[in-house]
Structure 1
Amino acid sequence: MVQESTLPNTFPTLLMHHARVRGGRPAIREKDLGIWQTLSWAEVAHEVRHLAAALADLGVVAQDHVAVVGENRPRLYMAMMAAQCLGAIPVPLYQDAVADEMAYVLQDAEVGVVVVEDQEQVDKMLDVSAQCPAMRTIVYDDPRGLRHYSDPRLLGWESLLARGETRLTQHPDEIDQCIASIRPGDTAAMFYTSGTTGKPKGVMLSHQALIDRARAIESFEGLTDREDVLAYLPPAWIGQNMFSYTQFLTTGFTVNHPESPETVSIDLRDIGPTYYFAPPRVLEGLLTHVMIRMEDAGGFKRWLFYRSMKLARRVGTRILDGASVGLVDRIRYALGDLLMYGPLRNILGMSRVRVAYTAGEAIGPDLFLFYRSIGINLKQLYGSTETSVFVCVQANGQVRDDTVGPPCDGVEIRVADSGEIQLRSPGLFSGYYLNPKATAESYTEDGWYHTGDAGYLDTDGQLKIIDRAKDVGHLSDGSLFAPKYIENKLKFFPFIKEAVAFGAGRDEVCAFINIDLEAVGNWAERRGLPYAGYTDLAGKSEVYDLIRDCVAQANRDLASDPKLAASQVVRFLILHKELDPDDDELTRTRKVRRAFVAQKYAVLIEALFQGRKSQYIETEVKFEDGRKGQVCADLRIEPVPVASSIPLKKVA
């Protein structure tokens, strides 16, 4: 057994280790023009050396920041590795962020070299270059559309590699010397927070912190270098970065990059990952596609699906957890697996999944149950950018929908008198970049990190998250109000894409609803209901009737929970536009900016609580090309039946 002290302890040494011990094995695959292209560990290490030499030739030195912008692409991953080989710090940016958002990060991190994917990102860099005087070089991967660009700061990928080859010839030992000088405590990467409550902050994470958390989960789950992982989420999100970059370099498994965001579901089925990660919104989207297909299926197939799912909800999770199940139910479930669950896992691309995690926000219990009931080992984890992701993870056989598991190895958790979760962990960040005040404020006087989440440790040591501490409140009668819990109930329905609940300090709860255009559009087309876009469809009375039934069902579920029975939704409206990160209503990780939404749509909130029948509103929106426009609508406000709460049974 390899002693811990002899293991590689920085990302560059990990890369070179894999190139030595498993050099011929596949490290990275990328689908291009429908064909999967493979790079071995030895090939990746060879190219990274040339890239590192090229970056050195561009003046990049230790502690410099190198920005990386684009979809999940192998060359962008190798650019991050190359920067780390020099002791420089990669700073991934969200590829769908508008130029002005990127400008803030580029200025704050004083970025000199940016590596981008394509023409779209080049254009953004050129747009903000006047605001970012430190930016001196823009390296691009895909040259399409850039033939007539003449800016001297632009440098193509092939030219970059040629520059690196020349540099290596002149300085053959330079990269090895740089790698040897890097220490585990040095900053390995910097991730910017989503800025839910203010300007984004640069979170500095060391090699030691990231690798420690990756190794803890490698041991916990028994991960090996034979795993297959699909890298399809933004590299700027710490969750995706941990699964498809940090754990990739720590464990040495294979990462697969889809051809495009539009082909992810197809590519997922091609690869059949063994280790899978998805935030709840992705799992919601996959389930929506399944439900749309079932609605289009014949009568017998629909009957079989719903009959099979009824059985799966009753015994599927118990079978997955290894619990005792009667012989007849096991036989029936095995038959259901042959006819329904197995084909369904195949459609979802999860036939080979051994471990699947969801994180990023709370997942609705019904959604969680659906995946586990059909035999997918989906588990919840809890963490954040500042904690290197892994704080709590559910263990096999001890998975519950209302907890996120016990603390991971090395993590200590305590719950403050205020209900806030506080922790200590080897994976904690080094600090916020150039922001010592914010860094100090994120810790208690005795050195525990403030998570900002409210929750408690259950009797069996598992952590239960209620909501963000600042969002949890009470109705005017003192009843608990946890908006995220209510919203997750609503978002389980395939017709509801987003929901925002309001009720803190009020007598009752009301909600905004965003319909899912694909699901509701499909529903409308089957009924011959014409519509001319989202706003038109959202305002139709038939759609209001559909959503009212969904909200009423959510109310019936809430009525069965004594703590939240008073939080049933009494009125709702369907927003005339989808909540959008470009309009500052969502973060780039698709989390609702609750305070901003409440301020922007204050007139709608008051109309809901005043019991009006409708409210007119005009809303400014931003288009992808930077133009602004107005969306106007007279929004209908719909009351919803409230279910009777179910009293707790007395124990005799």
Structure 2
Amino acid sequence: MQQLDARELSRQLHPHWEDTDHLLTLLAENAKNFPQQVAMRERDHGIWQEYTWQDYLDHVIGFAAGLEQLGVKENDIVLILGDNRPALYFAMLGIIALRAIPSPAYPDTTPEELSGQIERERIAFAVAEDQEQVDKLLHVVKIQGDQSGIRRIIYDDPRGLEQQNHPLTIAFKEVVANGQARLNAEPALFNDLINRPSIHDTAALLHSSGTTGVPKGIPLKHGHILYGARNAANAGYFSEGEVHMAYLPIAWVGDFIFSIGAALALRFVVNIPERQETSQHDLREIAPTLYFCSPRAWSNMLTRIQVGIDESPPFKQRMYHHFMNFALELERKRLNGKQPSFGQKLWYWVGEQLIYGPVKDHLGLSRVTKPYTAGEAIGEDVFLFFRALGLNLRQFYGQTENCALAAAQSADEVKLHTVGRPFPGVEIKINDDGEILMRGDNVFDGYYEKPEDTAETLRDGWMHTGDAGYLEEDGQLVVLGRVSEVVYTAQKERFIPTYIENRLQFSHYIKDACILGKDRDYLTVIICIDFQAVGHWATENGVPYSSYAELSQQPKVYDLIREQILKTNHMLPEPLQIRRFVNLHKEFDANDGEVTRTRKLRRNVIDQNYKAIIDAIYNGHESIEFEAPIVYETGETGVLKRTLQIQDVTSKRN
């Protein structure tokens, strides 16, 4: 009766949604109309394993039938834990067929974090990728003791698990086989499982980043997901039959939308790399047509290219720099509305044969027609570089609450500082406080068991995004940062830390930056260097080091980082310029609670963990001996001790 009431409420909220229009019916239609067409590929031990749409449907329904035999019922929440794997995608859709709810977690989630999620969501069943993830869950069971509600752990990769024969574990293949046997005995069950769900049912329980506390559950219904994907398709963001690589965490909303929602609605070919570590290598074999990655990942790609060029013969370096400088200047003029001449087009064609094309092929981006970035601001150098290569790189804007798809730049309207226009079917306006408000069928209906948070976020038919921004005269949206992060110095100078941090992180030498200055006389910053980029720079410049900690404290590295901060200071008004900085001897780490799994800063944790450093910065100290607490993925703890230098931005060592 409770589920019926929930459906009726959803029908009132979305009267034009059709009950039978959901993820399972789309999968069934694809299997019926394109049974032998490849739907998914996975690289396993160097060999690409293919699944047709019929294979896809058979695995999903077989798993659903077997899972129901194990005791999963409507509204049960089932944990999904691991990296991208076909079995985990099949499992999520099988869970949905039972009108139960998949709840994916990040693969590097610690046992303690899992314990909290399992308790909050009353999870009794889990699907795990491999032994590492199963061991975490069994550790949670051990921690919770008699209070543990876990009844079954289903695993995909059997290595190291088949011999254990733990009473709680069962192989994914066995569940599917049991389900297939049941389907053979009950012929009507196959269609029954396809038709059980409704567009008004929850298709996934995703989670907020949890920057200020425990992540909130965000239920997304079939309708939210499909309308989000279709709105994007209507705007030209997706096309039917895209070749897509599924490498982003399955717990992130973008992966669910790209790899399941849009993939089913538009028949994508979803390709899964062998491991996260091989994703860039596998990308070249996949040669996708659609590619999304964060500004940080685009920046890392550029760093790899620059490192490779620095190690090339002199002639190749000169040719590369000549053509790239030409292309960069051409792209700057193009973004300012100036079209290239015939001669420039001809010379660009030459560069395409010699430089641009080979670089794109090396990266695996030679077939990409839809490259995107989102999540934070992207550096001008990075943005211009990939566009100069001939990739029409564009920015988009979204959150988990609106299925990650709200606005994007069109192919012919690209600006560095905007995120584009709202998609068809999405309305955006700015309230009197400068907050971005949104409504549309892609916007969720409320948080999981959080009525107060729901009432705060959804008001008068509009979702309050929590982001500050404005609409330009031509309708393009500019996002400034989180409204909650607008703070003031002691002199009442208003600033948004993330705005300054993003601009510092435009430098590929800076991985993370935490701006300090709330209620203080001036701004300072804690820097986490990018080990790969700074390490390469150190090698090229004769700076010795044996570890991240040692490299971070090298005097020449301080000079390097000072130069990056000065570049940012030139863009800031004098009262908001950064005065002092320290290079931390470790990276901000999600296991230490300093950043979320999506690498957003948890400022309260940083303030607490590094209070002694912050006090030393503002007390004018030139160094501090500091022990940083460390939490390993196993849950064990330790410390990393180092003497840290604290320097003024305006001064330079002799």
TM-score by length of 2: 0.92
Task: Write out aligned runs for 1:55-70 (5 A).
Answer: 55-70=67-82
Describe the SS at the equivalent of 1:582: coil
SS in 2 for 1:125: helix
Q: Contact 1:322 / 1:397 at 8 angstroms: preserved in 2? A: no
Measured in 2, the distance between the counterparts of 1:122 and 1:614 equals 44
Q: Is 1:317–1:372's contact at 8 Å kept on the other side of the alignment?
A: no
Question: Is residue 2:148 matched to residue 1:146?
Answer: no
Q: Which moved more, 1:485-494 or 1:394-403?
A: 485-494
Deviates more, 1:406-415 or 1:295-304: 295-304
Question: Equivalences for 1:87-106 in 2 at 5 Å?
Answer: 87-106=99-118
Q: 1:389 to 1:500 in 2, by over 3 A?
A: same
SS across alignment from 2:484: coil
- The match for 1:300 among 281, 298, 315 is 315
* 2:42 paired with 1:33: no
| Structure 1 residue 397, shift from structure 2 partner | 0.7
Measured in 2, the distance between the counterparts of 1:296 and 1:550 equals 23
**CA displacement at 1:5 relative to structure 2:** 8.2
Give, as a single letter, the amino acid of the residue that structure 2 aligns with 1:209.
H
Q: Residue 136 in 1 paired to residue 148 in 2?
A: no
Equivalent residue for 1:51, pick from 50, 54, 63? 63
User: C-alpha displacement at 1:48, in angstroms?
Assistant: 1.3
What residue is the counterpart of 1:539 in the other structure?
553
Matching residue's letter, 2:476: Q
Which SS does the other structure have where 1:431 is aligned?
coil
Letter in 1 for 2:536: N
Structure 1 residue aligned with 2:497, among 476, 483, 486? 483
Give secondary structure in 2 for the equivalent of 1:432: coil
Cα 1:343–1:322 shift into 2, 3 Å: farther
Question: Partners in 2 of 1:581 and 1:232 — Cα distance?
Answer: 19
CA contact (8 A) 2:292 2:373 kept: yes
CA distance in 2, matches of 1:218, 1:317: 29
Residues 85 and 318 of structure 1, relative CA distance in 2, 3 Å threshold: farther
Q: Give the equivalent residue in structure 2 for 1:156.
A: 171
Match of 1:494 in 2: 508
Q: Which one of 446, 463, 473 corresponds to residue 487 of structure 2?
A: 473
SS of 2:626 mapped into structure 1 = strand
Residue matched to 2:251: 236
Question: What are the equivalent positions in structure 2 for 1:431-580 lying under 5 Å apart?
Answer: 431-444=446-459, 446-477=460-491, 479-556=493-570, 558=571, 564=573, 566-580=575-589
Unaligned runs of 5+ residues in structure 1 are 643-652
Aligned residue runs from structure 1 range 205-220, under 5 A? 205-220=220-235
Greater displacement, 224-233 / 607-616: 607-616
Q: Report SS of the residue matched to 2:65.
A: helix
Aligned counterpart, 1:645:
none
Q: Cα distance, 1:535 vs. partner?
A: 0.8
Matches within 5 A, 1:345-494: 345-444=360-459, 446-477=460-491, 479-494=493-508
Change (3 A) 1:550 1:261: same
Quickly say closer, same or farther: Cα 1:308–1:474, change in 2 above 3 A: farther
Q: How far is 1:299 from its partner?
A: 3.0
Cα distance, 1:512 vs. partner?
1.2
Unaligned runs of 5+ in 2: 1-15
Partner amino acid, structure 2, of 1:573: V
Contact 1:383/1:392 (CA < 8 Å) preserved in 2? yes
- The percentage of aligned residue pairs carrying the same residue is 40
Counterpart-to-counterpart distance in 2, 1:371 and 1:475: 37
Alignment partner, residue 632 of structure 1? 641
Counterpart residue number, 2:602 = 593
Q: Which amino acid aligns with 1:347?
A: H
Contact 1:571–1:638 (Cα < 8 Å) also in 2: yes
Alignment pair present for 1:621 and 2:633: no
Deviates more, 1:538-547 or 1:248-257: 538-547
Counterpart Cα distance in 2 of 1:633 and 1:317? 44
Q: Tell me the alpha carbon deviations over residues 254-285 of structure 1, each in whole angstroms, 9 at most, x when there is no partner.
A: 00000001101111111111011111221122
Contact 1:51 1:164 in 2 (8 A): yes
Shift of 1:320: 8.3
Cα distance change of structure 1 residues 29 and 619 upon mapping to structure 2, 3 Å threshold: same
- Output the amino acid matched with 2:188: D
Contact preservation (8 Å) 2:467, 2:481:
yes
Native 8 Å contact 2:83 2:107 kept in 1: yes
Distance 2:237 2:207 in 1: 31
Shift of 1:136: 0.7
Deviation at 1:479? Answer: 4.6
Root-mean-square deviation over aligned CA pairs:
2.1
Q: Give 2:22's aligned residue.
A: 10
Query: Which among 192, 199, 202 is matched to residue 207 of structure 2?
Result: 192
Question: Which deviates further from its counterpart, 323-332 or 120-129?
Answer: 323-332
Name the SS of the counterpart of 1:451 in structure 2: strand
- Indicate the residue corresponding to 1:608 in structure 2: 617
1:499–1:298 distance in 2 versus 1, CA, 3 Å: farther
Q: Please say if residues 378 and 506 of structure 2, whose CA atoms lie closer than 8 Å, have aligned partners that are also in contact.
A: no
* Paired residues of 1:23 and 1:40 also in contact (CA < 8 A): yes
Q: Using the alignment, how far apart are the partners of 2:542 and 2:148 within structure 1?
A: 56
Residues 448-496 of structure 1 show CA distances to partners (whole Å, capped at 9, x for unaligned) of 2111111111111111011111223344555542322322222222222
Q: Show the counterpart of 2:8.
A: none
Distance 1:501 1:251, change over 3 A: same
- Amino acid across the alignment from 2:650: P
Q: How many residues align?
A: 633
Once residues 486 and 527 of structure 2 are traced to their aligned partners in structure 1, the CA distance between those partners, rounded to angstroms, is 20
TM-score by length of 1: 0.93
Task: Decide whether the 8 Å contact of 2:19 with 2:198 is kept in 1.
Answer: no
Q: Distance in 1 between matches of 2:481 and 2:171?
A: 46
Instruction: State which drifts further: 616-625 or 328-337.
Output: 328-337
Task: Flag the 1:5–1:449 CA change in 2: closer, same or farther, 3 A.
Answer: closer
**Residue 70 (structure 1) shift:** 0.7
Output the CA distance in 2 between the equivalents of 1:321 and 1:9: 44
CA, structure 1 residues 608+480, in 2 after alignment: closer, same or farther (shift >3 Å)?
same
- CA displacement 1:358-407 (0-9 Å, x = unmatched): 12223233322222222112111111111111111111111111011111
- Aligned residues of 2:61 and 2:194 also touching (Cα < 8 A): no
Within-5 A mapping of 1:178-327 = 178-221=193-236, 223-316=238-331, 324-327=339-342
Tell me, yes or no, if the aligned pair for 1:8 and 1:17 is still in contact at 8 Å: no
Cα distance in 2 for residues equivalent to 1:348 and 1:566: 42
How far does the alpha carbon of each residue in 1:132-167 deviate from its partner, in whole angstroms, 9 at most, with x for none?
Answer: 632111010111111332321110122112211221
Secondary structure, counterpart of 1:423 in structure 2: strand
* Gap change, CA 1:416 and 1:223, over 3 Å in 2: closer
What amino acid does structure 1 have at the position aligned with 2:530?
D
The answer to whether the 8 A contact 2:112-2:635 is kept is no
Match of 2:93 among 78, 81, 84: 81
Classify 1:320/1:32 alpha carbon distance in 2 versus 1 (closer, same or farther; 3 Å).
farther
* 1:171–1:394 distance in 2 versus 1, CA, 3 Å: same
Q: 1:93 to 1:5 in 2, by over 3 A?
A: closer
Deviations 1:517-567 (A, max 9, x none): 1222223234443323111111111221222222223334x15xxxx4643
Look up the equivalent residue of 1:430 and give its one-letter code: D
TM-aligned CA deviation for residue 349 of structure 1? 1.5
Equivalent in 638, 646, 650 of residue 641 of structure 1: 650
> How far, CA to CA, are the matches of 2:264 and 2:327 in structure 1?
37
Summarize the Cα distance change of 1:5–1:545 in structure 2 as closer, same or farther, 3 Å threshold: closer
Closer, same or farther in 2 for the Cα pair 1:623/1:568, shift >3 Å?
same
Deviation of 1:604 (Å): 1.9
Matched residue of 2:306: which SS? Answer: helix
Which letter does structure 2 place at the counterpart of 1:186?
D
CA distance in 2, matches of 1:183, 1:146: 36
Cα 1:423–1:201 change in 2 (3 A) is same
> Structure 2 residue aligned with 1:117, among 92, 105, 129?
129
Query: In 2 relative to 1, CA 309–223 (structure 1 residues): closer, same or farther, beyond 3 Å?
Result: same
8 Å contact from structure 2 (residues 446, 458) kept in 1: no
